[in-house]
Structure 1
Amino acid sequence: MEFRPGELCAVAVLDELGWESAHLVGFSLGGAVVQRVALRHPERVRTLTTMASVPGDVAGLKALRYIRLGTLAKFARLKFPDTPEGTVAAGVEVARLLASPRRPFDAAATRMAVEANPDGGVHDQEAQSRQIGARWHGPPIDGIDRPLLVLHGEDDPLIKPRAARTIASRVPGARLVPLPRVGHEVPESSWERIVTEIHTLAHAP
């Protein structure tokens, strides 16, 4: 299995919108997807931003060097009933595991957000393993020739910051921006910085 379907879905969205190209932003697995879109469909990409992502051309066991296995183990130990309330409780605990330990965790606000958009996928204990084990048969990310911004939380408890450094070092002209007090998440405290960085990339001469 590889991430080709995600890449095709991204291109299909552009087709449906009638857009020839766009500024792409991908978080976590989405970051790998937008890297792969830039490799296989460069004419559809104006700029790309990855956040909390591994290099788009790593797969299988090679991806494990960038993953904090202790966090995956904590995910595996989460047990909640497969009910609406269990889904909400699981979502809150997953968010807690992925948050920066250097910021207070607002369980009440998180619960409200999860209740507004419940995700039954939190019960799929094999999801991370399937994603990590997926294969990639495309070109290396060194071939990305679009402006690239690499964002990564300094406190990411799931994807090691070395993943961001690797991406930035391998893609010509890429710019790395570490985000302090940010985990594997997009907290409100980071929104202004993230938006500013993406805006600057999109409007660079």
Structure 2
Amino acid sequence: MLNEQIAKDVGPAHLDIAWEQRGDPKHPTVLLMMGIAAQLVHWPLGFLQALVARSLHVVRFDNRDSGHSTHLRDAPPPNLPAALQGDLSSVSYTLSDMAADAVGLLDALKIDAAHVVGASLGGAIAQTIALEHPSRVRSLTTMMSTTGDMSVGQAHPATMKALFGGPPARTREEVVARAVRSYEVVGSPAFPADPVAVAETAGLAYDRDYDEVAIARQAVASVASGDRTRLLRALDVPALVLHGLADTLCDPSGGRATAAAIPGAELVLIDGMGHNLPPGLWERLADHIAAIVRKGEAKAAGTAPRPLERR
């Protein structure tokens, strides 16, 4: 069940941002960011519960151009092929703008600093927050993501063909069916997801908002933001990089490059995990995130990390 709220006039762009929180606000805040074409509902409830059980306060939200947050429908039509060739004339915003939205949400919630956790494009946004707003970040977790270096973390050609070949999905039924097929391609072979649950989430996301052009705007924003590798080398924050070795949408080379770029980053590569958050990994992923949160809290307090606590 959602307990969604709308924060108004958020960040420098003065957007509406849809958000939801779980757990005790007195506990360390984990700010969750999803990727392209994804909404706050794509963070599985069981995963959220696993984080809350580890004494964490969880905030998830819709990025701009997704779900119930502001959609930039009057922006120029995005041209992803042109952007990939270096023509950025169709760029409406960059990851820096999306990072500023997230920091603006922290302002609206009166949260001084958070543990930022991003999946896929959300990982790139989380990296950008750590780079451009370091005082607001106590730890950084980047999942199934990459550095922006186009030589790493790329989707496998067969995966791209399977996902984007054929006619576009338009109706609710078509979009839900495509989501189920997509999970068969990019999901975790060792940790199968329930297709009924996948369909339910896809239907919920469609009902909240389906904006195919916005997906391209977010993709163009990612391309326009460039390679963060050199900048990541200057980070001074406890960092965790999680990546599935069976990920064919963002090749594990992206995770390896991210961990190599961030000083002291912990790299966790998971056999059989693809480009999703399957139930069989919720507890394990939550343990890793809770551990980096403890390191971040200890660094902020100048103390040693505390043992893991579960409720």
TM-score normalized by the length of structure 1: 0.86
Is 2:159 the counterpart of 1:66? no
1:120 maps to 210
Retained in 2: the 8 A contact 1:98–1:183? Answer: yes
1:75-125 Cα deviation digits (max 9, x unpaired): 221435411211211222222222023444532332223223336356878
Retained in 2: the 8 A contact 1:25–1:49? Answer: yes
Retained in 2: the 8 A contact 1:50–1:150? Answer: yes
1:4-33 Cα deviation digits (max 9, x unpaired): 221111111101110110011000001011
Matches within 5 A, 1:50-199: 50-55=142-147, 58=148, 62-70=149-157, 71-104=159-192, 106-118=194-206, 120-121=210-211, 126=216, 130=220, 133-136=223-226, 140-199=231-290
Q: 1:127 to 1:72 in 2, by over 3 A?
A: farther
Q: 1:196 to 1:122 in 2, by over 3 A?
A: farther
2:75 maps to none
Q: 1:125 to 1:46 in 2, by over 3 A?
A: closer
Counterpart of 1:17, as a letter, is L
Q: 1:3 to 1:81 in 2, by over 3 A?
A: closer
Structure label with greater radius of gyration: 2
Retained in 2: the 8 A contact 1:141–1:170? Answer: yes
What CA distance in whole angstroms lies between the structure 2 residues aligned with 1:10 and 1:76?
A: 29
Counterpart of 2:105, as a letter, is V
User: Structure 1 or 2: larger helix share?
Assistant: 1
Identity, % of aligned positions: 32
What CA distance in whole angstroms lies between the structure 1 residues aligned with 2:212 and 2:246?
A: 22
Q: 1:97 to 1:11 in 2, by over 3 A?
A: same
Aligned alpha-carbon RMSD (Å): 2.4
What CA distance in whole angstroms lies between the structure 1 residues aligned with 2:185 and 2:212?
A: 13
Kindly tell me the number of residue pairs found equivalent between the two proteins: 200
Q: 1:187 to 1:63 in 2, by over 3 A?
A: same
1:118-143 Cα deviation digits (max 9, x unpaired): 36356878468525532338761111
CA displacement at 1:41 relative to structure 2: 0.6
| Bigger Cα displacement from structure 2, 65-74 vs 148-157 | 65-74
Retained in 2: the 8 A contact 1:35–1:144? Answer: no
What CA distance in whole angstroms lies between the structure 1 residues aligned with 2:294 and 2:239?
A: 13
| Bigger Cα displacement from structure 2, 191-200 vs 85-94 | 85-94
Retained in 1: the 8 A contact 2:233–2:261? Answer: yes
Larger RCO, structures 1/2 (Cα 8 Å, 6+ apart): 1
Counterpart of 1:106, as a letter, is D
1:13 maps to 105
